[in-house]
Amino acid sequence: MNGFRNQIRLLALLVKLELSYLKSERWILLSCLAFCLMLSGELFLTARDMHEFRAETQHAESEARQNWLNQGDRDPHGAAHHGTFLFKPVSPLGLFEPGLFPYSGTTIRIEAHTRHRLTNRPAENAVNVLRNSFLTPAALVQGGLPLLLILLGCGMLARERQQKTLPLIRSLGVPWYTVVLGKVCSLWLVALGLSAPYWGTLLWTQLATPGMWSTVNVSQDVFLRASLLLAGAWLYLLCWSLFIVAVSARTRTGSMAFTVLLVFWSVTTFCLPPLATNLVAISSPLPTQEEAKKWSDRKKYGDDSSENIFRTIREDLEKELLAEHNVDSIKDLPFNFDGLYMMAAEEATDEFAQQDADQLARLMRPYERAIAMGSYVSPYLAMHRVSMSLAGTDEWHHNHFDQQAEAYRRHLVLVVNQADSQKETPDALRGAALWEAVREFQYQPPSLTELGAALWIPVIVLIVWLGISLTLLFTPVDHFS
Amino acid sequence: MAASVSPLSSRSLLSLAFWGFWKSPGTRWLSLVFVILLAVASFSGYKTYQRRLSVIEQAATLAQTNRTLQVASLKGIEDPEAALGRPVTKQERGRARIQRMIATLPTSLAYSGGNFNALLTPSPMMILSSGVSDLWPDRFTITAHSQRKNLQREDIASPWQLEAGVWDVTTLVVYLLPLVIVAFTYNVLADDRERGTLALMLSNPIRLDHWVLANLLVRSLSAIVLVLPFALIPVCLAYGSDQFQTVATSSLLWALLVAVYGLFWMTVSLFVVSLGRSSLNNGIVLVVFWFVLVAVVPNSVAEFSQARQPVMSQQELITSERAFREKAERDGKALKERYYQQHPEVKRPSHEQDQYNQTHWDVVRLETDRQTQPLIRKSLAQVNARYGIHQWGMAGSPALACKLAFDDLSGTSVGQHVEFCLRASEFDEEFKTFFQPRMMSREELTLEDYDQMPAFQHQTLAFERDATMQGTALLVLLLWTLVVGTVGYRRIQRRAHTA
């Protein structure tokens, strides 16, 4: 028991010594202060942007609903074309990891016959000339902070070795693991201190003032996500601290450790993400909007080898209904034939739209796969994927919104087409009653359990990386001394 | 005795520095990796350029073919093969039939896509710097639909790729060239001191400041020289075209900026080396400099521009447009009456000519556009103002100055894209000014009308350069280089005297 207490005391002494060394270097203090200021500023400005965006989205949603309800006596088919707009809400944790949100569409037009894509990416008007410069709080913590830790920690053991203090400490009977643990703990403490504005705000928003960022109540799911995000950030910084000290321990000089770590950081954090996605763009370019439009146009209107599908649908339906009701003309049918035809045509176009959406998703997949492959070698990418999934700002969440928007579009078109088909009957919905019959769109975000593999694979990568760092670290390398 | 020995000639000093550099571990590997990365970036840029050019050419060809078919129809040539002078497919024949049908109908022609475009032809310089071309559109189809719809950006892009950022030669120059120079130069002098060879070297007729300068120059130029040949790619591609001279000048300017930017980082190294610290400390301080100049300052400028200059959101624009339209639909009858009163030259169509009351919707759209257009232009002007803040901000970061100048030279800057959108908005207005009276009268179009139809005149916007921006960027780079270089050189001279 006494031995354990002594070890702890020794560890605390080593941590204190290391921190006092770091404190004595003026440039270290200045850099840390600058980083904290930058992170706090970034958090403040991102929070403000998110708040504004959320308010604008809520206003736009309510205006769109009012616009739909105030259509007066518009013809149902006209209403199906007039349609409405849906606006993608910003996730409650978007402040801590904007992820792909600024680069994905945020508005979608809802109308009959056409399944529009989400458009208007917030990044379009943001004017970020140097886009690879760690522009978000998460990017600063996940990309910028490790660089600062490298600068602080690359010489930790190499310096002791060069100054011949390492053999001296070891000769006093201090075990290797206590020495390296002391270094790791001090570096991790610095990392936690530097990232305090980030996780402090995360804790504060979840515990002290739930719901202050939005009208959305912080549910249990969001709280769980926030807790995992916090734990993930701490684990990630621990991984880097371990890795940096491990490299410092296994290199002869501080310069060599610095070079190795800088190259590792440059490749995995800076080069890999754009390189991977741009290589995919060379091998699997995405279609242009004109090319994508041609996919369904070809199916709808036919080409050299096929016919116009609408003509066929109309003819088949006409034949079927005339026979069923035993009449000679569609005018004699007890309902509006055009409304029914619209419903049948819509079924076909919905099917085509789904095929197109699936095809586009297939073509988009290699980009995500490239990032997923990259995350096997890049802790930055692994953490980035985890945090995006947790914050609900990844592509999966984007597609989830898109699917709900499409379900809503089908609901809206079905309601107005049904009304259109009944327009000559007394029960037909008209005016305000019809507009009210189309429910208001309420986006239901997915729960954490639905994320599945999107979350677990990068977490496993981080754990493997932690294991490798630990193994490297706790293998004594006294022979360099 | 030592004073009588003549100092080493500059040439010998440079050769000695180069030999030392070439033999230092990792140098050749790092150079090779950097060149490979540059080659990949160039290839990626080339593919993007080719693809964009092909899309623009396809859109222009389609519009031209449609116009030929429409004009031929008015001249009484019904056969598409005779009109186009080549065999046509079944699909083209179907399209030709549609063009014949709409050739004389102003409303149908104005509403159908593919006939009028605002196109931005990419410059081959785009291979070096793709700027914001992945986020901003390079083409709009102009129709009789609302201007907001016409100028809607709908390009398909992977959010992963947009978030990761572009991988072009400019990105490598702005971010990685300084790191390569840092890697090549951080141990100049410090390494000699740490290995104990400094005293031995100084016992020769070599001045310390000359030795440091020669080493820094050789090492920095070695990195810069790796980049410069890539500036020739756009020149080769533009060879023989009308824009050759413009591209060649842009390329030359690009190379000059790269050289000055590289020299700036050399002076930063000179300054850090003059502090006389260990190579590890030099490396750390240089990386801090790098992070501040390529990340902290540009980030702060971006954040400041966003805070200082808000831009109307798309949500707001959509909501406003819908509200304008709602009101215009309510007042449709009165608006239509007013239109005919204000335009006595426009003949009111008969009920047969306008059986679906299309003129009602045309006047609703006209009113909606009248109110929305100032908002669209205001939002573009706001983005431009943000960009203007960046132009001021480049004084604080050579990296930002370089990037802005590179994008401008390549025709992919925010400013050029905003300008393109503004021109497209003007073209949309011009298009509607031409078609609106014809749509409201529903009279048939004639060959004379076709001669007067508007066309987009600013297709070569990407080849235009902002001389003020280039000059300012170069001035900023030279000033930084001069100031940091002078401070560093004075310090190293003082050290040389002490040594």
Counting residues of chain B whose pLDDT is more than 70, the rounded percentage is: 98
CA dihedral over A334, A337, A342, A347, signed as positive or negative: positive
Contacts of B54 in chain A (CB under 8 A): none
Distance from B46 to chain A by nearest Cα, in Å? Answer: 10
Q: Which chain B residues touch A59 with a CB distance below 8 Å?
A: 315, 319
d(CA A329, CA A349): 26
Cβ distance of A64 and B319 shorter than 8 Å: yes
Nearest Cα residue in chain B from A134: B295
Which residues in chain B have their CB less than 8 angstroms from residue A67's CB? 322-323, 326
- The band of B1, judged by pLDDT with boundaries at 50, 70 and 90, is very low
- pLDDT surpassing 50 at residue B3: no
- B482 interface with A at CB cutoff 8 Å: no
Contacts of B383 in chain A (CB under 8 A): 125, 127
State the maximum Cα–Cα separation within chain A, in Å, rounded to a whole number.
106
Q: Cβ of A133: how many Cβ atoms within 10 Å? A: 25
The alpha carbon of residue A110 is apart from the nearest alpha carbon of chain B, in Å, by 13
**Amino acid, single-letter form, for residue B47:** K
pTM for this model (two decimals): 0.91
Helices (H), A25-104: 26-69, 76-82
Residue B162 in contact with partner chain A when CB distance is under 8 A: yes
B contacts of A154 (beta carbons < 8 Å): 280, 284
* DSSP-derived secondary structure for A376-407: HH-HHHHHHHHHHHHHT-SHHHHHHHHHHHHH
**For strand B117-119 and strand B139-141, is the pairing parallel, antiparallel, or unpaired?**
antiparallel
Where in B133-249 does DSSP place strands (E)? Answer: 139-141
Verify whether the Cβ–Cβ distance B284 to A27 is below 8 Å.
Answer: yes
Amino acid found at B440: M
Question: Which amino acid type is present at position B179?
Answer: L
Strand pairing category for A84-87 and B139-141: unpaired
Q: Residues of B numbered 279-308 whose beta carbons fall under 8 angstroms of chain A's beta carbons: which are they?
A: 279-280, 283-285, 287-288, 291-292, 294-296, 298-300, 302-303, 305-307
Distance in Å, alpha carbon of B2 to nearest chain A alpha carbon? 35
Using alpha carbons only, what angle is made at residue B389 by residues B385 and B394, rounded to the nearest 5 degrees? 145
CA torsion, ordered A172, A178, A179, A183, to nearest 10 deg: -150
How remote is the C-alpha of A268 from its chain's centroid? Answer: 19
How does pLDDT run across B54-96, given as a tens digit for each residue?
999 999 999 999 999 999 999 999 888 998 888 888 878 888 8
Does B351 touch chain A if contact means CB atoms closer than 8 Å? no
What's the 3-state SS for B313-357? Answer: CHHHHHHHHHHHHHHHHHCHHHHHHHHHHHCCCCCCCCCCCCCCC
Residue, of B407 and A6, whose pLDDT is higher: B407
DSSP of B233-294, one letter per residue? HHHHHHTTSTTHHHHHHHHHHHHHHHHHHHHHHHHHHHHHHHTT--HHHHHHHHHHHHHIII
- Contacts of residue A286 in chain B, CB cutoff 8 Å? 156-158
Which pLDDT belongs to residue B6? 65
Reported ipTM: the value is 0.89
**From A85, which residue of chain B is nearest by alpha-carbon distance?**
B318
How much is the pLDDT for B5? Answer: 57
Identity of the residue in B160, B165, B322 whose CB atom sits nearest the CB atom of A395:
B160
Is the pLDDT at B449 greater than 70? The verdict is yes
What's the rounded mean pLDDT across residues A130-145? 88
- The predicted model gives B189-213 an average pLDDT of 82
CB pairs under 8 A between A and B: 227
How far A332 CA lies from chain B's nearest CA (Å)?
Answer: 24
H/E element, A109? strand A107-110
Mean pLDDT of B200-217: 85
pLDDT above 60 (res A4): yes
Mean pLDDT of chain A: 86
- What band does A63 get if pLDDT is binned at 50, 70 and 90? very high
Partner-chain contact A129 B153, CB within 8 Å: no
A111 touching chain B per CB within 8 A? no
Q: How confident is the model at residue B499 (pLDDT cuts 50, 70, 90)?
A: low
Stretch A144-150: mean pLDDT: 93
* Dihedral pair phi/psi, residue B454, rounded to 5°: -70, 155
pLDDT tens for each residue of A173-212: 778 888 888 999 999 999 999 999 999 888 888 776 544 4
What are the pLDDT digits (tens) for A272-308? 999 999 999 999 999 998 888 888 888 777 766 667 7
How many angstroms away from the CA of B490 is the closest CA of chain A?
22
Angle, vertex CA B388, rays to CA B384 and CA B392, nearest 5: 170
Burial of B118 (0-12, 13-18, 19+ CB in 10 A): buried
Q: Is the pLDDT of residue A107 over 80?
A: yes
